[in-house]
Structure 1
Amino acid sequence: MHRAVVQILDVNDNSSSFEKEELSLEISELITPEARFPVESAHDADVGTNAISSYHISANEHFSIEVETRSDGSKSAELLLEKALDREQQSSYDLVLTANDGGDLRRSATARVLITVMDSNDNAPVFEQEIYRSSVAENAPLGKLLVEIKALI
């Protein structure tokens, strides 16, 4: 009787993939920087160094990606808000999230991340004039228009 130990090594033969090609988030413009938003993890049937090793987000000034390694070795990603949002300046962001595996011949997957910035009542109205003046005659009829005030915003 002979005993043999066979070690099977994983080959990087599977591409990473996201369950959804498009991820949508709605974020209030009042959310402060350092807020985190979990995003869907990519999946890869390969294991070890051939599994998902990193995530990247397309260049932008408001969001970065933070990657956490779970106890089972898998990676999860969160969007990190780096800079305050202002809906009046930009109402949406169209980013690309990329997941890379660690194989010698790297394979990757991408998902579109659509972020809608939700408006908040954060701007005071602006009027055509700073001061409005009016006078009314003592015997003016009921309902007479005294002054018309226009707000621009």
Structure 2
Amino acid sequence: MEMADQRAENNVVSGQPQNSIADFAPPKEPKTKKFTIACAVLASMTSILLGYASLFIKENFNINDVQVKVLRGTLNIYSLIGSALAGKTSDWIGRQYTIVLAGTIFFIGALLMGFAPNYAFLMFGRFIAGVGVRYALMIAPIYTVEISPASFRGFLTSFPEPR
């Protein structure tokens, strides 16, 4: 016993801190917060915004198949504008506000498409919606990664991907 006491005394005297077994244990993972998961799930749902309305457009506007295909296909062209602006916008106003902006742009586009009296106005609404959709699809995964705990990050960022 005297030898152990001398070693402990020597460590105290030498100024070296004594380590316990708890000091060498791996760090505990942070607890998953329900709010974080809810935000990540909502942000990942931005990909749901694509293409469901086109099922009923052909009947309501009495347009042909080519016009429906042009309407559906131009979303990708229109969304180039949103993808070009999304990165700079998110750096300027932040990821959260960019997602809000994307939702607002998409909502305006959806309103324009919903109240469209003719095909040309419908295409204009599709243009606005396309910009908003790409804004959301560019920023939502980045925002999800930033707010997600490490233990759920992979699952939450791949949540909207097709299985």
TM-score interval (norm. to shorter): under 0.3
| TM-score relative to the length of structure 1 | 0.26
| TM-score relative to the length of structure 2 | 0.25
Higher relative contact order, chain-length normalized (CA < 8 Å, sep 6+): 2
Structure with the higher strand share, 1 or 2: 1
Structure of greater Rg: 1
